[in-house]
Chain A
């Protein structure tokens, strides 16, 4: 990437909560992109799989000082050294951080479903398949071959749409390029955001938009004090949102 002397890649996301309208398109686009299954009743939220979950926040004040905001939460792709909390505990090496990109992968076929990673994750970003995914017959035609479907008994989570990185690299290789341009690889949620509130790029490249935004005084990360070093950075001008993000009540 241009302007990145180190050549290092740390893919990260910036979500501007001031621009976010809470429309939840990101979450829908994610489900569609990643063959995320759905059931007739999805209201038991601990059993409902949403790689990109939308958290509800409010300032806790009475009417009419009450204010709310929605916070989209993909997998935060923790950059903690040497391991994210989840990969460290996996007994079968089914989840691992790719040190060339910073992406935390989870390979469902390798997963034994012990759910240790789920308890290790501080952000509820990992989901367990309590049932086999099932679609009405006709809807099987809308499953993308770019993401394999899972089965009951395994864990799954957001991958920052790593299959899009694979495809973007393919395109670059065929055009004779080793490296990707900014914007060539963008997860589905970021692409779909109608308010353009989500940004994606290389945090290690000081010239990238995400790296610049990450330095904003309005930037914060979720539960920063845990030292998990998430690569998803939020922007907000609202102090109460900053406080909630670090669980300060």
Chain B
């Protein structure tokens, strides 16, 4: 074998390796890494939005509403559930679990938040929904009509759910809408 040949074949190999490395890294970065970064958690009760909307005739605001003090009750309290589910209404496994594990021992359901912000962040639903008239689905996934509670992806590094709104998103929108970006508008 000549030196040239050797060079050629190794050159080819080099490029194959390059592509392999490139593709492998893309695979790791786009497919494996997100799998590793996020843990998947399931809600304690597999809540069926669809059945509550269609069969029970509930609207979103029946469970997700503003309190008199202006704060937003994102996750319903057990008392809301008990209004109908003091006794099982149907025969699903999840409902049986609701009654036996939460309603009867009067224990709050530990719903996992899809959009928990850090302690130092103050987010005003009132300002965005009532004043700026934004839609819930501008920030939150649309669960209406879904028959299963979507699993929650929690970032293993930060501890926050996947898809929480980042500060730059807030800031950009505040700039666009000509709203103050002073620190204490959103932090405490």
Give the B-binding residues of A (Cβ under 8 A): 94-101, 103, 105-110, 145-149, 159, 162-163, 165-176, 178
Q: Contact partner of A170 among B71, B118, B187, CB < 8 A?
A: B71
Contacts of B54 in A (CB 8 A): none
In the complex, the chain A residue whose C-beta lies closest to that of B182 is: A98
Interface of A, helix, strand, loop or mixed by DSSP? mixed
B124 contacts partner chain A, Cβ-Cβ < 8 Å: yes
Task: Please report the C-alpha to C-alpha distance between residue A194 and residue B28 in the assembled complex, in whole angstroms.
Answer: 64
Contact B70 A167, beta carbon cutoff 8 Å? yes
Contacts of B120 in A (CB 8 A): 107-109, 148
Take A166-B188, A167-B69 as given contacts and tell me if A96 and B122 are in contact as well, using a CB distance cutoff of 8 Å.
no
Take A105-B183, A170-B124, A178-B131 as given contacts and tell me if A162 and B70 are in contact as well, using a CB distance cutoff of 8 Å.
no
Contacts of B131 in A (CB 8 A): 173, 178
Take A107-B187, A108-B120, A147-B188 as given contacts and tell me if A173 and B182 are in contact as well, using a CB distance cutoff of 8 Å.
no
Contact B184 A105, beta carbon cutoff 8 Å? yes
Give the A-binding residues of B (Cβ under 8 A): 66, 68-71, 118-120, 122, 124-127, 130-131, 180, 182-185, 187-188
List 4 additional A-B contacts (Cβ < 8 Å) besides A173-B127, A175-B70: A98-B182, A105-B183, A146-B188, A174-B66
Contacts of A175 in B (CB 8 A): 70
A/B pair count, beta carbons within 8 Å: 84
The 9 closest A-B pairs by CB, nearest first: A170-B70, A171-B70, A98-B182, A105-B184, A173-B126, A148-B119, A148-B120, A163-B188, A105-B183
Contacts of A148 in B (CB 8 A): 118-120, 188
Take A149-B119, A163-B122, A173-B70 as given contacts and tell me if A105 and B187 are in contact as well, using a CB distance cutoff of 8 Å.
yes
Provide a sorted-by-A list of 13 A–B residue pairs whose CB atoms are within 8 angstroms. A96-B182, A100-B182, A106-B183, A107-B184, A163-B188, A166-B185, A169-B126, A170-B70, A170-B71, A170-B124, A174-B70, A174-B126, A176-B130
CB distance from A168 to the nearest CB of B (A): 8
Contacts of B180 in A (CB 8 A): 98, 100
Q: Contact partner of B127 among A107, A108, A170, CB < 8 A?
A: A170
Contacts of B70 in A (CB 8 A): 167-175
| B71, B118, B119 pick with most chain A CB within 10 angstroms | B119
Contacts of B122 in A (CB 8 A): 163, 166
In the complex, the chain B residue whose C-beta lies closest to that of A147 is: B188
Contact A107 B183, beta carbon cutoff 8 Å? yes
Task: Please report the C-alpha to C-alpha distance between residue A108 and residue B182 in the assembled complex, in whole angstroms.
Answer: 15
In the complex, the chain B residue whose C-beta lies closest to that of A144 is: B188
Q: Contact partner of A105 among B66, B68, B119, B182, CB < 8 A?
A: B182
Contacts of B182 in A (CB 8 A): 96-101, 105
Contacts of B69 in A (CB 8 A): 167, 170-171
Contacts of A94 in B (CB 8 A): 183
Contact A170 B185, beta carbon cutoff 8 Å? no
Contacts of A97 in B (CB 8 A): 182
| A95, A100, A178 pick with most chain B CB within 10 angstroms | A100
CB distance from B132 to the nearest CB of A (A): 10
Task: Please report the C-alpha to C-alpha distance between residue A175 and residue B68 in the assembled complex, in whole angstroms.
Answer: 8
Contact B184 A98, beta carbon cutoff 8 Å? yes
Contacts of A169 in B (CB 8 A): 70, 124, 126-127
Task: Please report the C-alpha to C-alpha distance between residue A189 and residue B182 in the assembled complex, in whole angstroms.
Answer: 24
Contacts of A99 in B (CB 8 A): 182
